[in-house]
Amino acid sequence: MKRGYMTAYALLLCGLAVILAGCVEKEHEFDKGVNVPTSSVRLVHPRLFLTEDDIPVVKANASGRLKDSYDEMKSRIDKLMGSDIVFEDPLAATGENTDNHEYGFRASEAALLWLVSGDKAYLDFTKTLLKEITGYYELRVSNNLNIHWYIFSTICVLCAYDWIYNDLTQLERQQIGIPLYKVMYDVAWHGSGTRPARYRENISDYKSGCYGPAVLPWYLGITFYGEGIDDKACADMMSEGYALHMQMADFRRQMAGEKGGGATACAQYSFGYYPLADFNFIHTYRSAYGVDISERMDYVLKYLDYLDWIALPGRREYGFGDVHHYNCLLPHTDINYHIGEIANLYSGNHPDVLAKASRLLALFSQSRETDTFPFIRFLHKVFPSPASGVSSETDVHSIYFDTMGQVYMRSGTGDDDTYAMFVSGGVPTQHKHYDNNNFIIYHKGYRALDSGTRPEPGNHLSHYYCRTVAHNCITIRMPGETFPDYWGEPASTEEELPVPNDGGQRELLSSELLALEETDDYVYLASDATASYHPSKAELVMREFIYCMPDLFVVFDRVTSTDAAYPKSWLLHTASEPQMNGTREWTETSDGGRMICRTLLPEDAVIEKIGGDGKQFWSDGRNWPLPVLTPDDYGYSKRFNIPPATHPQVGQWRVEVRPGHEAGQDIFMHIMQVGDTSLSSLPDTEVFEDGDAVGVEFTYNSKHFRLTFDRMADYGCSIDVE
């Protein structure tokens, strides 16, 4: 599609009144929200993200601190002005298969260049882009196709129109504004009974990222209210948008809890695009209504506290939930953006924010070549400087983010420290796995890891990756058990198969943290995951986890099945093949680190290594390999990094420990230590039984530890350190 594809505009010149009437008469869904007083809306432009009062700040940044970014923006647009506007494959099945949507970002940049420079060439080019983009949107909408999974570039189109509005003639406002309003309305207008659903249309609720068409009414209403096209619809859209964002804010405040958290416990989402909805609503409420709503959304401040604990050395994360295990990197360029936004929005009322932001910026200093909203930093008045070498508190070694369902533990915050995460409790189910009582340990690499990765599509995701067998958990296999579906579908090269019986959990939540205690020597926790298993097979699945600082762990599991014949297994996943040190101990070495693990109980333990080529993702008698994706798989092969099956961070082996005989009640006890490759042995251990008590003694870090567990209780450990 090239410049000049403007059939809709020829029609407009002939039938403007008819189209305008159609806009007014069309039924809309945006009339159910809480009324926002339209009398408070600023009736002058610009009013989307920025106002006339903000332009001096934008100009000062463009000529000062952000001059390099401004020059890069100018170079981009200058180059684009000298070439044809081409929409490749305009009828592609989904907008993510092309880069066409990016013209929306360029439109906002051209409009910003006009505001800053006053060069009429940028004004004219913004008009051209708006016309061409509208034509492209009309083509896709008329074929019931989406624009893109994310609504960001579409919002930028509205920004471009709002920012040049004062410099448009009345005829241009009709020729550009009315078609733009109409097609944007069609993008936003969705729901049961309104129109057919569009493939890859991100219609999600307030519990999600709020970055699909559902949020568009807010921006569309602000842009066009008071312009006489359909003020009633615009007022309704603003009310609907306000209600949605307030629902989002209330949910995210709940998710942040007392100590911090995101809208989901999966870091790829909570620190990817999810926070943009918070920032954008704060910005646009201020620009449209003249009111700073940031304190009502002060849960955003807790994003920094959560980020502090989920970050591993090298900008890595633990790999919890539906993340890509290709490199387990946090979305660090997005985090750079978020830190800057939080500092800019909150440092005035919260002076401690700058210190936190500076420290975290030292870890996440890399930004995108072009920000998601390419103009946003030009609105900033505060620019924290990265402060390297400044660490967070090191006298606190554990924290429970209760709403996230995650306990984090660490010996410090350096590259040579030990880090662990334990899964228990929590509220959000989005992108969470069947992994209650799972633990992940990191020291110079992933010593105990979540195995598998996220191909989309692919049976691997729904049949292995999300299942209990892929995690460091307990399984109880009940013959004939069926398991709930997880999201995803087979790749085009795969057949649709039933979910395997991995012996695992059937509830995403339903675990409870019963104890968390920290001393100078250890962190102790107890978690009950019984309710996450089928009640017909599990009477008790209790795990006690003791982290002896700085790098030793004891894991004690009490497992009671309803039938002694149901096999129980204790699982530990590793990046490389474990090497057996005798019959009850093994060593794993990879990525410059090492773990040694010893089975203490059961006494008759049967220990089996499972993995290697063709068995890395073994469950229910077969492997669930990573799929080979083709162009038929919605172009996803271009969008996702699917590593080779031999990639260490997807897990290559696991150790399964099983009792040597059938019993209704079983106890597992393991000790493990992590370190660099110089780690050569575990402490000597002595397992003891004293009546109803069972435990272990060992000397570690020049101290003698005695851990005593009561066989008759569901949980409870006496820890003596001398």
What pLDDT does residue 387 have? 85
Interior angle at CA 291, CA 285 and CA 297, nearest 5:
70
For the CA atoms of 522, 650, 598, 394, the dihedral, rounded to the nearest 10 degrees, stands at -20
Spatial distance between the Cα atoms of 582 and 579, rounded to a whole number of angstroms: 9
Q: Coil, strand or helix: which one is 489? A: coil
In terms of CATH architecture, what is 1-8+44-237?
Alpha/alpha barrel (1.50)
| Mutual angle of helices 231-256 and 274-289, in 10-degree steps | 130
Architecture of domain 398-721: Distorted Sandwich (2.70)
Give dist(CA 681, CA 672) in Å, integer: 10
Which among 69, 114, 162, 71 is positioned nearest to 377, based on CA atoms? 69
Tokens for 488? Answer: 């995803």
CA 282 to chain centre: 21
Query: How far is the C-alpha of 290 from the C-alpha of 39, rounded, in Å?
Result: 12
Give the C-alpha separation, 442 to 440, whole Å: 7
CA angle 658, 662, 668 (to 5 degrees): 40
Q: What is the residue type of 379?
A: L
Identity of the residue numbered 51: T
* Amino acid of residue 265: A
* C-alpha span between 578 and 570 (Å, rounded): 15
Cβ-based neighbour number of residue 102 at 10 Å: 14
Residue range 330-345, pLDDT digits in tens:
999 999 999 999 999 9
Q: Are strands 568-574 and 685-690 parallel, antiparallel or unpaired?
A: unpaired
Q: Is the peptide bond prior to 46 cis by the omega test (within 30 degrees of 0)? A: yes
Q: Which two tokens stand for residue 53?
A: 């009062």
Would you say how long the chain is, in residues?
Answer: 722
Q: How far is CA 330 from the centre of its chain?
A: 9
Strands (E), 368-462: 398-401, 406-410, 419-423, 439-442, 446-448
Distance separating alpha carbons of residues 707 and 610, to the nearest angstrom: 30
Q: Where do we find the tokens 């460091």?
A: 472
**Closest residue by Cα to residue 147 from 181, 184, 110:** 184
CA distance 220 to 230: 11
For the chain, residues classed under CATH 2.70.98.70 are 398-721
Are 455 and 640 in contact by the 8 Å Cβ rule? The answer is yes
> Which stretches of the chain score pLDDT less than 50?
1-33, 636-638
Which regions of the chain carry the CATH code 1.50.10.100?
Answer: 1-8+44-237
Indicate the burial class of 83 (C-beta count within 10 angstroms; 0-12, 13-18, 19 or more).
exposed
Under 8 Å between Cβ of 176 and 127 = yes
Q: How far apart are CA 184 and CA 191, in angstroms?
A: 15
Please choose, from the candidates 290, 227, 334, 281, the residue with its C-alpha nearest in 3D space to the C-alpha of residue 37: 290
What is the rounded CA–CA span in Å between residue 719 and residue 659?
A: 26
Contact (CB, 8 A) for 202 and 211: yes
**Are 451 and 622 within 8 A, CB to CB?**
no
Rounded to whole angstroms, the Cα distance separating 373 from 394 reads 36
- H/E segment holding residue 105: helix 103-117
Tokens for 330, please give them.
């946090």
SS (H, E, C) 118-164: CCHHHHHHHHHHHHHHHHHHHHHHHCCCCCCCCCHHHHHHHHHHHHH
Q: What is the model's pLDDT at position 37?
A: 67
Identify the pLDDT of residue 394.
Answer: 63
Distance CA 252, CA 249 (A): 5
- The residue type found at 72 is E
The pair of three-digit structure tokens given for residue 170, joined into one six-digit string = 């009345």
Provide the 10 A C-beta neighbour count for residue 563: 12
Nearest CA among 442, 397, 421, 469 for reference residue 624 = 469
Cα–Cα distance measured from residue 576 to residue 567, given in angstroms and rounded to the nearest whole number? 26
